[in-house]
Structures are given as structure tokens and as C-alpha cells.
Amino acid sequence: MNVINDITRIQVGTYAQILKGGGVVAFPTETVYGLGASAVNPAAVLRIFELKGRPADNPLIVHVSTYAMLVEFAAEIPAKSRILMQKFWPGPLTLVFEKRKEVLDMITGGLSSVAIRMPDHEMALALLDASGPLVAPSANVSGRPSPTKAEHVHDDFGNSVPVLDGGDCIVGLESTVLDVRSEPFRILRPGSITAQMIKDKTGLVVVEADIMPSEDMQPLSPGMKYTHYAPDTPIRWMTSEEMSGNIDEAVLYLILNSSGLTKEMKNVIDFKDDMNRLGKELYDWFRRSDKTAYNEVAIQPLDVSEKNDLAKALNNRISKAIKK
């Protein structure tokens, strides 16, 4: 979490004026950097799609800093969703509500729902307070790994997008998306807020969505339909032979434990069973691979059992980064 100093307040004020004037600004959140534009300005929202090369049917998430902003977009706020907001907002949890009729169709991809979250980052909240509600998909070219550092945004957009630099994102994975329009609430996109965490903190039992859109179906949430998160370097899962120690020096390996690997190697990154660290650093390693001579990135297969909800989020992101 970043503490706002006087210099940063001046930056926030300057960038808020850009946003109010219909411009686009990249800013940090606890998950990834977002590409922000005013959620009530059609031309600014359209600029987001143009900059990213984002499909028009891929809905955007509205970012807010107050409850008053939330009610500008959500037509119905179920009582149990208020419990979730009390426990997890600000935080990496996006809630999907029925939308108010005033909400721009381009934000929702024409759906009757709108996705909203309150980021847990001092700079993001200060910017939202100053600018008003923002749509903010990840600040990368569509299909590329999400940015977790300001330099990642510059890599994709150069100097065409001003960036509010808040350092490294502390989570590194996009928010969990939870549809609260009917019970049981459904996870549309897994993230660092897991089903077990929700149950432990609220007593609410949520389920995973069983509908994954085909090529001709409308996605209900960002991250559901298209190839995402992929560097130019091919991504794949490690083979059993590699897990036993048969390592290729031309491949970058990301592993959670060194079982079967008998010696330290510069191309083997051992996260030492720290799945949170893997989540935080995953996209950075994807992006680093494009600046090295490695032919591939191979990742140790993850245990996606019911007791390992965070692995489901990581498995989701890695699977979508594997180009078919």
C-alpha cells in the first residue's frame, strides 16, 4: 500500500483533470495496473477499446471509491452483497450487479449487468475520489500479460499513455469476479479472493460458474472468453520428464518446489511453495521471457483441488496464456 505524499497528490490531481477531460491514464491497483477512462464519457471509453485492441463484447469493470459511486451504476444491490463489500472492499473482488439503464452499453458489452469493484490502493482511491468512477481494464494491449509494474505499461504503449507510478502491484492477479444477481452467487473469474475465503469471512457459499462462452457467445465477465495474459514466448506446462530433472537450458522454468531438480540453475525459478508470490510475479516473468533468449516458459502443473482455490486462479491465467 502506498502512502500519498504531496508530490503524488499533485500528480493525482493532474491526472484526474486528464480523465475529466476525456483522456486515458494508467494507474496502479493492488491487482494489476488499470487503463482508466471516465465511466460516463462514451468517447473516453471508446478510446480504451481502441488503445487495447479490445473486442467490443468483452465487458469492462467500473472502479469506484465510494458507495455513492456504486449506486450510480448498480440498479439492485442484494443484501448479502453488502456483506461482501463490508468484508472485502476495498479489495480484489469485483461484484456483478443488474445495471442502471443509464450505464453505457459499451461498458457492459450490451449485457444487462455491470461489474464493479473498489480497489485497495491509496493512489487508485485518491485518483477515483478526484476524477469520479472509471472503467479500468488492465493497462496492456489485449492478449498480452497484464502489467504489474509501470514499466510494463510503457512497454505496451510507450509515451502515448500517461502512467501514475505506484510501484509493483502486491497481488499481481486480476480480481475475482462474483455474480451476485441470484443465489448462489457465482464466481465468473477466479482470483485471490477465493470461495473458501468468502465462506470463512461471511458464511456465504459461492459456486463456480459452469458456463464458459464459446466463440459465438457473449462473455459475462472479463477473462472468460478470449486468449489473455500471453507473452510472445510460448507458454506450456512442464512434462513429467522435466519434473524429474531432465531440464532444457533453452527453457525458462517456473516451479513451486524443487522436488526432482537436483541443482540450482539460472533458468529454474523456484517459488518455494509460495503460491502468493507466484501470483504476484507471474506476469512479470512472462514479460521478462520476451526480453531473453529462452524458447519457451514451462510451468509446474498446479494442484487445483478444492482445498487449493488460489491454484485455480493461477491455473486459469496460465491456461489462457497457452496459445492453441
Residue type, position 243, single letter? M
Same domain, 17 and 157: yes
Q: How many structural domains are present in the chain?
A: 2
pLDDT for 219 equals 59
Pairing mode, strands 25-27 and 34-38: antiparallel
- Does 22 lie in the same domain as 90? yes
pLDDT (0 to 100) of residue 303: 87
**pLDDT tens digit sequence for 199-255:** 999 999 999 876 554 455 555 655 555 567 899 999 999 999 998 888 999 999 999
Calpha distance 5→262 (Å, rounded): 48
Residue 220 is assigned to a structural domain of this protein: no
**What angle (nearest 5°) sits at the alpha carbon of residue 105, between those of residues 36 and 88?**
55
pLDDT above 70: residue 125: yes
- Joined grid coordinates for residue 224: 472468460
Which of 35, 312, 65, 30 has the alpha carbon at shortest distance from 188?
312
In a domain, 302, yes or no: yes
> What CATH number does residue 136 fall under?
3.90.870.10
Identify which has the larger pLDDT, 256 or 214.
256
Residue 81, CB-side half-sphere exposure with 13 Å CA sphere = 25
228 domain-assigned: no
Q: Are residues 85 and 195 in the same domain?
A: yes
What is the extent of the structural domain holding 268? 235-321
CA–CA dist 35, 121 (Å, integer) = 15
Which SS3 state, helix, strand or coil, does residue 88 take?
helix
Arithmetic mean of pLDDT over the chain: 91
DSSP helix, strand, coil percent of the chain (3-state; round to 5): 30, 15, 50
pLDDT in tens, 272-318: 999 999 999 999 999 999 999 899 999 999 988 766 778 999 999 99
Please tell me the predicted confidence (pLDDT) of residue 223.
Answer: 53
